[in-house]
Amino acid sequence: MERVRTYKLLGVTISHDLKWNAHVDYVIAKAAKRLYALRLLKRAGVMPKDILKVYLCIVRSALEYAAQVWQDIPAYLSDAIESIQRRALGIIFPNSSYQQALDLTNLTSLANHRILLCKKLMADMRNESHPISFLAPQVTTRSIPYQ
């Protein structure tokens, strides 16, 4: 009987060893293919602000899909994902450094944005009307009298 190495569940690739390498490889390949659309738009003379919108819709959305599930990845995987955003911003703003492009667009690194997405999810889950609020850890405050 052959053992299942990876399984795709709701667009997230889960591997038998519970590492995220297979998922990150898939996401990077998918997003890299979409960078071609940005190159075509740039060649056609489309304004950078419009190309940026396309990047956010078709590339960055693929890079961040279900990030709350897999955001705690090793630095080398995070850097590999970040390289796609570097390439995209290099296409949109060819005369700017990566940091300059981030500043121009008011974007953050993908690692920081994944952390923000997780914090937002946890904040949303603390609202009792959220469908999975029962999974969020309850914040408790207690005072311990010290003598």
Residues in the chain, pLDDT under 50: none
Q: Is residue 82 included in any domain, yes or no? A: yes
- 87 within a domain of the structure (yes/no): yes
pLDDT number for residue 4 = 82
- Token pair of 71, please? 């955001």
Q: What is the pLDDT of residues 78-113, one digit of tens each?
A: 999 999 999 999 999 999 999 999 999 999 999 999
Number of domains comprising the chain? 1
For residue 91, give its domain range.
Answer: 24-110
pLDDT in the model for residue 105: 94
Give domain status of residue 60, yes or no.
yes
133, part of any domain:
no
Is 134 a member of any domain? no
Give the other-Cβ count within 10 Å of 142's Cβ.
4
- CA angle (33 as vertex; 27, 34 as ends), nearest 5: 90
Does a structural domain hold residue 100?
yes
| In a domain? residue 91 | yes
- Using only C-alpha atoms, what is the Rg of the chain? 19
Residue 106: its pLDDT value, please? Answer: 94
Domain assignment of residue 117, yes or no: no
Question: Where are the alpha helices (H) located in 1-147, listed in sequence order?
Answer: 21-43, 48-54, 61-64, 67-70, 75-92, 98-105, 110-125
pLDDT at residue 128 in the model: 79
| pLDDT at residue 139, rounded to an integer | 67
Q: What is the pLDDT of residue 140?
A: 67
Between CA 63 and CA 75, with CA 69 as vertex, the angle to 5 degrees is 65
